Structure 1
């Protein structure tokens, strides 16, 4: 009985090995991309909606907390600068306050 190498020419066997390696690589990449989990999620629209609502709420809370820390830091820095009583920064802040007051006086609701 002839062995496998004598039945399949060397070049065809190499081609099969290349195709096999490419197929295995594509399967691994699809597994890493979690395509199967995504398609299962698409078959359950209620779960998809709930996950999107939950992620949106988490993003919103994260933005709110981040903005709060950012604004608190800016206010703290302005208070420190105001306590130093620097003439240039004090004049700049006074100009901003005057501009805001004028805008409030001009708006009649």
Structure 2
């Protein structure tokens, strides 16, 4: 009889730990979201827009910084590097001026 009570206490403790673990993982929120596919689509669409906007802004900033760095290297007139960078920038400007990307 005492062994059954101890076993029941162990099982109850394990169930309590499992319930706490599932609560930490927010399984209930995930299941609720899966039951509402329209909301899931809208959330994924908004997340995709945010990612795309972030990538576009980040790439623009990085390329702008690279161009500014290249411009400064040209102004320093370092032999070899300055001429190479000037040629690259001339090609980029010529290509952009003709409307090709």
Q: Is the TM-score greater than 0.5?
A: yes
Task: Report the RMSD for the aligned CA atoms in angstroms.
Answer: 2.3
Structure-2 change in CA distance of 1:83 and 1:97 (3 Å):
closer
Larger radius of gyration: 1
Determine if the alignment matches structure 1 residue 84 to structure 2 residue 67: no
Separation in structure 2 between the aligned mates of residue 12 and residue 88 of structure 1, nearest angstrom? 86
Instruction: Indicate the residue corresponding to 2:45 in structure 1.
Output: 53
Number of equivalenced pairs: 93
Separation in structure 1 between the aligned mates of residue 44 and residue 52 of structure 2, nearest angstrom? 12
Instruction: Report the Cα offset of residue 15 of structure 1.
Output: 2.8
The unaligned stretches of length 5 or more in structure 2 are 96-101
The unaligned stretches of length 5 or more in structure 1 are 1-7, 105-109
1:32 to 24, 27, 34: 24
Instruction: Report the Cα offset of residue 91 of structure 1.
Output: 3.8
Say whether the 8 Å CA contact 2:76–2:82 is kept in structure 1: no
